[in-house]
Structure 1
Amino acid sequence: MSKIIAVWGGKHSGKTTFAVNLACALSKRNKLVGLISSNLTYGELQTFLGQEVPQEKGLFAALYTENPNVGEKFTDYAESKNLFFLSVPTRYSGLLDDNVTLEEVEQLINSASLAFDLLVVDGAVEVNNPLSSVGLWLADTIFTLHRPSIAAQMWQIGVADFVRELHLAEKQSHILLAPNGEFDDKAYRSLTELPFVCELPYLKRAGELENAGTPLYFFKDRLCRRYAKVLEQIAAKICGGEKQ
């Protein structure tokens, strides 16, 4: 079973949507799940999960407070007793992200991996983000999201040296988001020549639901159920069995 799972992708690839909903799916399998955002300036997870992170909790408290139980700095997700998330606090002052070091992040992720059964790290587009790069390096499995476009292909080319230097390719599973009509998925497959393990449906209402703080996994319209079904299949492979 994978212990640390990283989610990665280019801009507008749907990676944070996938990371949040995968964490929800895993938490429903009787697993204690920690979800970490690598966004150092804005609390994205607060939007997706519809909750605030108080000043005394959150990413910077976990990084800079000498507390052996890093799990206490995660925020409980109200809709699932097994899901906890770590994001920058909803309100904070100072450029705290300038002080984040690779060593601090490595210690944080290793400590969090002991506190939870499964740890999901939502990576960043930028390869110089310390939380994202360390999360990718420590991950057992990396799910890389692709929304077919020329920009997505250029991002894939741009990170090729980074992938090679950190030996990430052997840990990557590529996931294709069904196109919304703006770009042909067959053309993208041909351009990238990547093996895609599965395809996620295009959800027109995704932005609306996310702004309302409603994970797609818990919304029961037809397309969201299709999206959730793919997540269930992935969660089953991660956990090595059927849903408990």
Structure 2
Amino acid sequence: MSSKIIAVWGGSNSGKTTFAVNLACALSTRDRLVGLISSNLTHGDLQVFFGQSVPPQKGLFHAINEDNPNIGEKFTEYTESKNLFFLSVPTHYTGLLCDAVTLREAERMMNAAAFVFDILIVDGAAEVTNPVSSVGLWLAERIYTLHKPSIAAQMWHEGVSDFVRELHISEKQIHILQLPNGEFDDKTYRSMTGLPFAYELPYIKRAGELENAGTPIYFFRDRTYRRYGKVLEQIAKGICGGEA
């Protein structure tokens, strides 16, 4: 069974990696085999979120550069869930390996992974020049675009408008508002962008602390975290049920 490819996108500091990691956790509890791919070519961030390490013989560069029919072996299993695997650059590596990544190689890797997992999530990059992120956006069945209200976020949204139009991906985008902590008025941001937000995520004060401790928000039971988890459950239900 080939997977549904889901892309997570947004500007810098929009909460997209936090969302991608926790959505993957939510989906993995629904008896789905979930693969999560990081598009970060210089720093292994997913292993920080999961509190694990990616050995040199695994990881993104090996998956991309090797024509390996068993691409699932390059993913790292999340120790807390038998259904969740992630692909990130190794925790320790040498050389500017990211220079070797091409669109063709990224597409081949992603298509191969799509036959291994029921659901494949690509944690995209803010930069439109990132090959893994761009291929993920192109192949994705749907794109969850995160917005954390700010002038920078509004400028990013405007800056990628030509890219969105050229790739014809606007109809696949589902916009999600990351509610701010009083730093910027979300009503002003809604007015500035004119976007319809399908979901709203609550502000998580201790998100960074939990992530650095390798604890996904989805598995941390507290009032605010449960609110975040309920939104993830709604989205996961839509994905597994085929709803828009």
TM superposition score normalised by structure 1: 0.97
Map Cα deviations across residues 95-151 of structure 1 (whole Å, 9 max, x no partner).
010010100000000000100000000000100000000000000000000000000
Q: Aligned residues: percent identity?
A: 73
> One-letter code of the match for 1:236?
K
Q: How does 1:211-226 map to 2 (within 5 A)?
A: 211-226=212-227
Q: Do the aligned partners of 2:3 and 2:117 also contact (CA within 8 Å) in 1?
A: no
Q: Does 1:47 align with 2:27?
A: no
Structure 1 match to 2:240: 239
CA distance in 2, matches of 1:172, 1:22: 16
List runs of 5+ in structure 2 lacking aligned partners: none
Q: Does 1:230 align with 2:231?
A: yes
Q: Cα distance, 1:196 vs. partner? A: 0.3
> One-letter code of the match for 1:206?
A
- After superposing on structure 2, the runs of 4+ consecutive aligned residues of structure 1 that deviate more than 4 Å are none
SS at match of 2:115: helix
Q: Cα distance, 1:179 vs. partner? A: 1.2
> One-letter code of the match for 1:44?
D
Report the aligned-residue RMSD. Answer: 1.1
CA distance in 2, matches of 1:185, 1:206: 20
Q: Do the aligned partners of 2:3 and 2:114 also contact (CA within 8 Å) in 1?
A: no
CA distance in 1, matches of 2:134, 2:67: 23
Q: Cα distance, 1:64 vs. partner? A: 1.3
Map Cα deviations across residues 186-237 of structure 1 (whole Å, 9 max, x no partner).
0000000001001000000000000000000000011111100100010000
Q: Do the aligned partners of 1:179 and 1:202 also contact (CA within 8 Å) in 2?
A: yes
Structure 2 match to 1:117: 118
CA distance in 1, matches of 2:181, 2:168: 32
Structure 2 match to 1:23: 24
Q: Does 1:152 align with 2:168?
A: no
CA distance in 1, matches of 2:106, 2:73: 16
Q: Do the aligned partners of 2:36 and 2:85 also contact (CA within 8 Å) in 1?
A: yes
CA distance in 1, matches of 2:110, 2:139: 8
CA distance in 1, matches of 2:57, 2:48: 19
Map Cα deviations across residues 10-31 of structure 1 (whole Å, 9 max, x no partner).
0110000000000000000000
Structure 2 match to 1:9: 10
CA distance in 2, matches of 1:128, 1:151: 18
Q: Cα distance, 1:61 vs. partner? A: 0.8
Q: Does 1:170 align with 2:171?
A: yes
Structure 1 match to 2:131: 130
Q: Do the aligned partners of 2:147 and 2:176 also contact (CA within 8 Å) in 1?
A: yes
Map Cα deviations across residues 170-198 of structure 1 (whole Å, 9 max, x no partner).
00000001110010000000000001001
SS at match of 2:149: coil
Structure 1 match to 2:186: 185
List runs of 5+ in structure 1 lacking aligned partners: none
> One-letter code of the match for 2:237?
A
> One-letter code of the match for 1:155?
W
Q: Does 1:72 align with 2:60?
A: no
> One-letter code of the match for 2:78?
Y
Q: Residues 231, 2 of structure 1: CA spacing in aligned structure 2 closer, same or farther, 3 A cutoff?
A: farther
CA distance in 2, matches of 1:85, 1:100: 18
CA distance in 2, matches of 1:189, 1:2: 33
CA distance in 2, matches of 1:13, 1:58: 25
Q: Cα distance, 1:2 vs. partner? A: 7.4
